[in-house]
Amino acid sequence: MRNQQHLILVKQLYEDSLALSGRPDALSLTKAIVLLDLSVELMLNNIVLNLDPNFTVNETKGSEDISRKTLWGNAARVVRATNKGSLPEAREIANLHALRNLVQHSGNQPSQSETERYFAAIRVMFSTVFENVYGLDFSRFQIWDLVANNDLREWLRDSEVALTKGHPEICIAGCNHAHDLIIGAIRRFTKLRRFAAPVSFHRPRLDQHMVFRIKRLEK
């Protein structure tokens, strides 16, 4: 997958927009609409980047201004062509983009109810794309899902579980341990100069008590 970081940005823009939509002031609602529509644009671009075999990145791409209708059509076409389903909520998302243009270019101020109505459609679209195209769960997707090493990725997830269950001290210990694992692996990797060898992040025996505590929180 190319540009995996875009998926993190899509999720964060969506969540930032959702938080802003809960505020009644005009500035927050304006930012919410702009960020939400931007998250859709990034999602569509990422679909084309990953599924279209004829798409290439070059120096001229940054100067090209593709209309939303064209971008949506390109993304929908490659999704169908690669048997990844379809892009849902086309009409509602087109309405969002029209509102974003009014807000950005004409200075219109969206109401709170008008802003909030689009989140359900965007969530359906993102959830569908994440599952069909990337094999990911949009609602649970976090930045450490992009960590290639299984042990380190699970350790970070376990630390998050501890935090959500109200145990910040376990989360802090877990994050500190993950940091130590990364630094230790980098030092070994650099010292041995074996750049083709996989990096190991195995959990040592001394941390089994903390692992047990974290696992209990998941139940």
**Tens digits of per-residue pLDDT, 65-100?**
678 899 999 999 999 999 999 999 999 999 999 999
For the chain, the domain total comes to 2
Q: Which of 68-82, 128-142, 157-171, 197-211 has the lowest mean pLDDT?
A: 197-211
Please give the structure tokens belonging to residue 206.
């001394």
pTM value is: 0.72
H or E stretch at 134: helix 119-134
Question: Same domain for 130 and 162?
Answer: no
* Domain end marker among 142, 161, 179: 142
Question: Same domain for 122 and 152?
Answer: no
Question: Same domain for 99 and 152?
Answer: no
Question: Same domain for 110 and 42?
Answer: yes
Question: Same domain for 20 and 127?
Answer: yes
Question: Same domain for 25 and 53?
Answer: yes
Q: What is the DSSP string of 75-104?
A: HHHHHHHTT------HHHHHHHHHHHHHHH
* Domain end marker among 93, 123, 142: 142
Q: Which domain holds residue 184?
A: 147-217
Summarised one tens digit per residue, pLDDT across range 98-111 is 999 999 888 889 99
217 in Cβ contact with 162 (< 8 Å): yes
Q: Looking at residue 205, what is its pLDDT? A: 43
Please give the structure tokens belonging to residue 197.
């060898």
Q: What whole-number distance in Å separates Cα of residue 117 and Cα of residue 119?
A: 6
Question: Same domain for 94 and 182?
Answer: no
